[in-house]
Amino acid sequence: EVVLTQSPATLSLSPGERATLSCRASQSVGSSLAWYQQRPGQAPRLLIYDASNRATGIPDRFSGSGSGTDFTLTISSLEPEDFAVYYCQHRSNSWTFGQGTKVEIK
Amino acid sequence: EVQLVESGGALVQPGGSLRLSCAASGFTFSIYAMGWVRQAPGKGLEWVSVISGFGGETLYADSVKGRFTISRDNSKNTLYLQLSSLRAEDTAVYYCANTFPTTSSVYFQHWGQGTLVIVS
């Protein structure tokens, strides 16, 4: 079973700054990786699929990159609504989520 | 607009049972696999189960296998999750989600707002 490890656990940044979140897989997953955003008190929302494709309606300040075992979610300039928890996810025989990275206001 | 509305969450004693429902609208329900994902209080996301579009295939996380049963009624556009032999560690918000297949994988695209199950 693939294990996804996200880092850092918490990222403290100011609005307008660039956020870089990492997700590392315990074995190669090709490009089969998604990123989700979860705002406080809300359901998760699909941001990125197949490592680098933005889901419908997702602003272009969100971008995903990587393949194999190392993946990155980048938010080019943080908006107030972007302060949230972000999860990576992969599906093999089951669906696996990383433990999450919280992006908080500095 | 896709809508997924969960219901059925409640406070239940250990060893008890519960059935969750998820009413879907805004898309062709029978075409898509559907899934349940849960989130314990203050914790991350944990996949629970998935069912194929016509219900012929089901998958379960090891943590719920043999205790939970996923099903669907395509005539009612409704997804179900039967929870049995409940344990304290099953306490969580349970989300239903529809799936989004790509050439390389399957992801959870639209999510409901969740229903809370408390086992105590």
Question: Which one is predicted more confidently, B102 or B48?
Answer: B48
pLDDT of residue B103: 86
- Cβ of A102 under 8 Å from any chain B Cβ? no
- Dist CA B63 CA A101 (whole Å): 24
pLDDT of residue B82: 98
Residue A89's contacts (CB-CB under 8 Å, 6 or more residues apart) are: A4, A33, A34, A35, A36, A95, A96, A97, A98, B45, B107, B108
Residue A11, pLDDT > 90, answer yes
Of B44, B108, B114, the CB nearest to A100: B44
- Cβ of A72 under 8 Å from any chain B Cβ? no
- Residue A102's closest chain B neighbor by CA? B44
Of A46, A50, A96, the CB nearest to B108: A46
pLDDT of residue A93: 83
Confidence of residue A92 (pLDDT cuts 50, 70, 90): confident
- Cβ of A45 under 8 Å from any chain B Cβ? yes
Residue B42's contacts (CB-CB under 8 Å, 6 or more residues apart) are: none
pLDDT of residue B55: 81
Cβ of B107 within 8 Å of Cβ of A97? The answer is no
